[in-house]
Structure 1
Amino acid sequence: MNINLLDTVVLVKELPNSGLQPGDIGAVVALYEPDGVEVEFVSASGKTQALVTLKLADIRPIDYHDMLAVRPLDAA
């Protein structure tokens, strides 16, 4: 999988400690060899929800056929 800095990516697994669910969209803000990425996830208002270090297997590139949606954040 070819992921570059600032790519928009989709989370493929749940990260309950960060309030993230599969399908959440983030931006790659750092790349770590051999297979690490730092991804920033933001709310619709632009507030950072989470900044997490993930493996490439935890994300996928956004696809032309993906539909964007909005979900409420858990009140925490």
Structure 2
Amino acid sequence: MIEEHDRVVLTTKEPDAGLEPGDVGTVVHVYSEGEAFEVEFVTLTGDTVAMLAIDRDEVRPVQSRELTHARSVE
């Protein structure tokens, strides 16, 4: 189960926010017992890129054998 402060991986493209599948964000709020989440996506230096309300099927928990990957955003 995904909870507040968990890191999650985006599984869908969010072009208006400049986000791609695989981008990692942090859950800042859980809605409707886990049906949706408010997720903050930040740069590696801590600047917020986007804060989105995202449905449960648009993110997944991070897995123990995954690495963070860096890419530039507009």
TM-score range, shorter chain: over 0.9
* TM-score, normalization by structure 2: 0.94
Name the structure 2 match of 1:72. Answer: 72
Q: Give, as a single letter, the amino acid of the residue that structure 1 aligns with 2:16.
A: N
Aligned to 2:45, the other structure's residue is in SS state: coil
Q: Map Cα deviations across residues 27-55 of structure 1 (whole Å, 9 max, x no partner).
A: 00001105010000001111000000000
Structure 1 stretches of 5 or more lacking a match? none
Judging by fraction of residues, say which structure has more helix.
2
Name the structure 2 match of 1:20. Answer: 19
Structure 2 stretches of 5 or more lacking a match? none
Could you tell me the percent identity over the aligned residues? 36
1:38 matched to 2:61? The reply is: no
RMSD of aligned alpha carbons: 0.8
Q: Map Cα deviations across residues 9-66 of structure 1 (whole Å, 9 max, x no partner).
A: 0000100000100010000000110501000000111100000000010000000111
Moved over 2 A (4+): none
| Alignment size in residue pairs | 73
Equivalents in 2 of 1:68, 1:36: separation in Å?
23
